[in-house]
Amino acid sequence: MKTHFGLIGKHLSHSFSKEIHEHFTNSNYDLIELDEISQFMSDKKFTGVNVTIPYKKDVIPFLDELSEEARAIGVVNTILNSKGKLIGYNTDYFGLKSLCNYHNISVDNKKVLILGNGSTARTIEYYCNQNNTNKITVAARHPRANQIHLNALNTLDYDIIFNATPVGMYPNILAHLPIKFSNNTPVSVVVDVIYNPLKSTLLREAEQYNVKTVNGLYMLVMQAIKAIEIFHNKTISLDHINHYYKRLLKSRYNIVLIGMPMSGKSLYGKKLSNLINMKLVDIDQEIEKKESIPVPKIFEDKGENYFRNIESKVVLHYAKEHNYVISCGGGVITSVQNIDALRSNGIVIFIDTPLSMLKRFCSKNRPLLKDNKSLEILYNKRYNTYINAADIVIKKDTLDVDIILNKMVVALNEYTSIEWT
């Protein structure tokens, strides 16, 4: 059977390419997982395909012609079958160039560190060489000549870091590179070509030191656009592309609600998900489904450590998902790993309910709350952790649900217009 358009690779379940290509064309786009490529390439039963890991170099011997970039880089990610003649392109180069332009990143006269030495790293290195980079250092787990080992990065004396390794990519969103930022780091920008999750561990760590961070989603979109132009001999306006990109980005992040018990996370989660048309998950309810008993009973029968362990597993599962409003239990923030996972795709909102208001609703049915004194102790113990974990803080200064909900929507719009574009 002939495939007109598609993506070939080994593991493609996380790919966004089908969605992007089918949005801009009227053609079906297939995800084709292959254990080897020789038969597929020899048969030539396709009009145009994109190529991803691990075949970006393996396809070259089957091609009749290479574009200038593909020949210079030695990597192909797009193949056009022109009446039986296979022509290879590197549209990743175009995607990277577009990403740097969109985010105002200049490598001119900069010291650049590239993490990884695979196909994408070669594209980044070529781009830097084409744009007057002062110095390029390549670090990898298996360094070649003139490269260094990742573990040798004791100091980060660079202006820009590009990550071209898959470390931190879905589903292993908590995996991290041996990179240590510091308060006086000269690094101004970190670009991670990973786009799932939206914020890799590397980007989350860099953010803590006020470093500008950029994920690879715009690069993915723009390399696809270039491939579409090659496949279909058409041009697409930048306004159309950028509008689509922002819509795609919005569909990929979660909204995470944290706060003290009785701060209204479940209520606001339900209303917010309905209002902005996102799926809803309540972590405590998911735990109760999993254990088939109420949360207080889990604490009573099996203890808090058992509960926290189950809670972390449920949190990690939903942290990898997209387009959810995630209502968290009050103690989620007691685990650094939980917050790290939730931030990988999520905007974290702290519903900051004053202690005086919480005392009016203090419930003895909460596992860790016996009375107002225990509530006060828990509040004081956790408050700064909530603040530090939050991207947005919503002061709950009224019991009017609509007013608080409106505050959330306004704050989200402001945040996403600045941080997630």
Q: What is the pLDDT of residues 231-270, one digit of tens each?
A: 999 999 999 999 999 999 999 999 999 999 999 999 999 9
Token code pair at residue 78: 């797009």
For residues 352 and 235, what is the distance between their CA atoms, to the nearest angstrom?
Answer: 49
Residue of 56, 199, 226, 265 marked catalytic: 56
Q: pTM for the whole thing?
A: 0.92
- The alpha carbon of 378 is separated from its chain's Cα centroid by a whole number of angstroms, namely 32
| CB of 109 closer than 8 Å to CB of 116 | no
Region of 260 (left: φ > 0; alpha: ψ -120 to 50; beta: rest) is beta
pLDDT at 154: 83
pLDDT at 232: 95
**Residue type at position 214:** V
Token code pair at residue 47: 């009009």
pLDDT at 366: 73
Q: 82 forms bridges with which residues in the sheet?
A: 85
pLDDT-flagged residues of the chain (< 50): none
- Output the average pLDDT for the chain: 94
pLDDT at 11: 86
For residues 378 and 389, what is the distance between their CA atoms, to the nearest angstrom?
Answer: 17
For residues 414 and 420, what is the distance between their CA atoms, to the nearest angstrom?
Answer: 10
CA angle 231, 10, 19 (to 5 degrees): 45
| CB of 79 closer than 8 Å to CB of 58 | no
Q: 65 forms bridges with which residues in the sheet?
A: 87
- Is 57 a known active-site residue? no
- The alpha carbon of 96 is separated from its chain's Cα centroid by a whole number of angstroms, namely 17
Kind and range of the H or E run holding 85: strand 85-89
Q: Is 112 helix (H, G, I), strand (E, B) or coil?
A: strand
